[in-house]
Structure 1
Amino acid sequence: MKKLTEEQLEVLVQKRNNAGEEAIVAIMNNEELASYRINCVEAIERLKDQIKRMAGGITAKYRTETLETLEGYVAYIDAKLSEEDKTEATGEAAIDQFLAAYKERAIEFFTRLTKEYRELKYKNYEITVQNLESVTDVWGERKYSNDQIEKIMDELNDKLPFQIDHLVSEIRRSRFKSWKQFYTKSVMKIVENVYYIRNDEDRAIAIEAIVTKDCAVKKENIYKIVEGKAGKIIDAKHLRVGVDGELNGIIQGEKDKVSVTSFTAGGHNIQKLHWRLKVTVAK
């Protein structure tokens, strides 16, 4: 690890000014912080030596203030990097990355279903043989036989408007029911709850809130599943999110070392957006 060069510091100072930050460490990433710590430590040693040789005065006071600022930077950097090490050691960084991608997909999933729910609930279907075949009774059985459908189609031009409306309503109800039954009850419960929110922005906020809460629960479950086999996590630095977006890697626990792999359900036509976590003892 090398300290930051003068050129690098100039770039960071400009970046700090553009961001409107007072402390330069506020705009640094972890790699820059680690390098800048070396700069700070060297400067602290020089200042301490200079202050010792001074007999007070304004210059000594200024250097003492600078020394305190640099010591504050070192304390900040140590805390920041320690927090990052802890996050990496427990696998939290990789898990958060995995769940962030899941959250984005879940929001898209429920946004799409809510839109489809609205469209299908009021869709104006045509009266066709195929649509009449989809009409079911209260027991879920087909309502019209082939002969009845043939008769309806033959007499369609002679039917009154309210009779046409009734047939369209039956088709809509059956198609909508069939669409709803494809998805799990838990999914439909979420969709129906947010459907009644008329404002698009408020509906989007509600969906995000639901998914965020779900992700928090899933995060707890990941740790429960892993620690159930491995014991308390000691080292999860090798847990990563792969190019396929899946969580995978090795975790060392107090009881065992385990291999972790996730499998996410994909595609447009899925009943429920979900994933499965496979945790096995590593050989």
Structure 2
Amino acid sequence: MCISSFANYSVSDIRAAGLGVRGDMRHAMQLYTMKDRGLEEKILRKAEAEGCSAVFLTADSPVLGVRYNEWRNDFRTPKGLNFPALEWDSRDIQGRTHDDGFMSFNDDGHNWARDIPWLRSVTKMEIWIKGVLTAEDTLKAIEMGCDGVLVSNHGGRQLDGVAATIDALPECVEAAAGRIRIHVDGGIRSGTDMFKALALGAEHVWVGRPAIWGLAYDGEKGVDLMLDTFYNEFKRCMQLTGCNSVKDITKACLGVVRSDGPLARL
């Protein structure tokens, strides 16, 4: 599980809840490049002290995308919710729009050569780059000694027309050539979507919105239902494609529709 910097509970509370379910659960800490390096370091050290094993540095948000719905509706986090990691209480959050709040702390001067070595100097956690969509950035992550990349388009909320992650995934996997770990998120809505991503070379698949939908539907039971649904779909997809183990899931299981009509093997 990846813990958001905007989580409404502390890292320690989230870790305790996860470990209460299964003792070997691993957590990553999602992080933005911040103007206040002292607070950024504080977040990292807290996460590491609580047992998080990786930091996921968000690389696709130097600024927020143009979100007309949020502006039109004056979107603000509901009263009574805090952002413990950022040390914002409900009054801080309610006092400004989400856009203004983000711009106030986020550093828009993202820089590989500055930020990755700095992270290495303050934490022993693995360093992953979240928001990669190209072979070039995959190669850059390798060059900078990162531990992995998360092929992600921020749920499509940052830039209209950006590539779907399932389309960007193959070139990132090819560029990595096994030298760096590749995970993917964005648009995963079923167990068969998971299957496709693994077949295209992802080691691991992340989901966000489906969990939120499950939570809205029936709280913890709704999230359980979502996970069970994904699991059952994934298992049956494996069975129907003749895969006895995850290792059997390869490009050979997929086909694409060619421009001239016939279905072609990948």
Same structural fold, with TM-score higher than 0.5 when normalized by the shorter chain:
no
TM-score scaled to structure 2, two decimals? 0.23
TM-score scaled to structure 1, two decimals? 0.22
The structure with the largest alpha-carbon Rg is 1
